[in-house]
Amino acid sequence: MRAQFILSEIGIGLRRNLSMTISVVLVTFVCLTFLGAAALLQTQIGKMKDDWYDKVEVSVFLCPTGSTAPTCAAGEVTEEQRAEVLAALDAPEVADFVQEIYQESKQQAYEAFQEQFQDQFWASAVTADDMNSSLRIKLSDPEQYQVVADVVSGRPGVESVQDQRRLFDNLFLVLDRATWAAAGLAGIMLLAAVLLITTTIRLSALSRRRETGIMRLVGASTLFIQLPFMLEGAIAATLGAAMAIGGLWLGVEYLVTDWLGQSVPWIPYVGTSDVLAIAPLLIVVAFVLAAISSLVTLSRYTKV
């Protein structure tokens, strides 16, 4: 009987404030979508870092003919200078960080260049003599790049040392900032959701002031009086969370997996399993929103 009464009160409250309830659902949907997108973007960054940082190499570009670098003053790298660089990389203090060394000749670099830029008209003007021979160093721990770089940098015959991780640093910086921007928007929308839920509960409590007064007179407990209002906010917030989860699932399924996954297949993308992983978090946030709004409002307008 009590459950039936509470359910009827919830239905009455939702009908009386239908427009506000819809607003709560929509605002909750938007803010939790931003929050979920921020979480998925951070997951995406983690996947890309794990995959790309394990594959990147340290490139040691050896002196070509005509280089103006101080270490290339003697001209093109000699076999003796190359051997000294390799010996430095094989030293005990460095060898543990080096997993594999691949030597690329000028001809191999030229062939790779032509394959990559074969559609560019200016590529035909480049010759093998214009290319650098290089050493491609695969590290056992990519975080130890500086140890290897310090050993080979500045040696005669070495024009420059490049860590391929740095090519991705700006990309990850932009993605990190996008994550914070999405989280910031989510925070603003969460505040708006709290205010809307609070307003909805207050309007519902004011519209049923007579019923509340009767319940006070017959000795109803505070929890019994407040429970319908709390559930109204929880239902609206949960519907918004469900819509957010559905929207994120559709976005990942059709935009990321089907579109981006087919267009740029070499990037490890987030999947629907990642959406399902953050779904409980979004539902919990929705309940917390409703709980905060209820505590702020009900203690004043339905106090027994």
For 7, 227, 230, the CA distances from 3, given in Å and listed in that order, are 6, 10, 14
Residues 11 and 222: their CA atoms lie apart, in Å, by 20
Query: Do residues 271 and 252 make contact, with C-beta atoms less than 8 angstroms apart?
Result: yes
pLDDT of the chain, 304 residues: tens digit per residue: 455 544 555 555 556 556 667 777 787 888 788 888 888 888 887 787 766 666 667 888 888 888 888 888 888 888 888 888 888 888 888 888 888 888 888 888 888 877 777 777 676 777 777 788 888 888 877 767 778 888 888 888 888 888 766 666 676 677 778 778 777 777 777 777 777 777 766 666 565 555 555 555 555 555 555 556 667 777 778 888 899 999 999 988 888 888 877 877 777 888 888 999 999 988 988 888 777 776 666 555 445 4
- CATH 3.30.70.3040 is the classification of domain 57-163: yes
d(CA 174, CA 149): 26
Report residue 99: phi and psi, to 5°.
-90, -40
Query: Helices 209-217 and 165-207 sit at what angle, rounded to 10 degrees?
Result: 70
User: Is the pTM of the predicted complex or chain greater than 0.75?
Assistant: no
Closest CA to 109 of 93, 124, 128: 128
Q: Where are the domains of the chain?
A: 2-53+169-301, 57-163
pLDDT at 210: 59
What angle in degrees, to the nearest 10, is found between the helix axes of 145-152 and 79-89? 150
Tell me how far apart the alpha carbons of residues 198 and 73 are, in angstroms, rounded to a whole number.
74
User: The sheet that has 58-62: what strands, in order across it?
Assistant: 98-104, 134-139, 58-62, 158-163
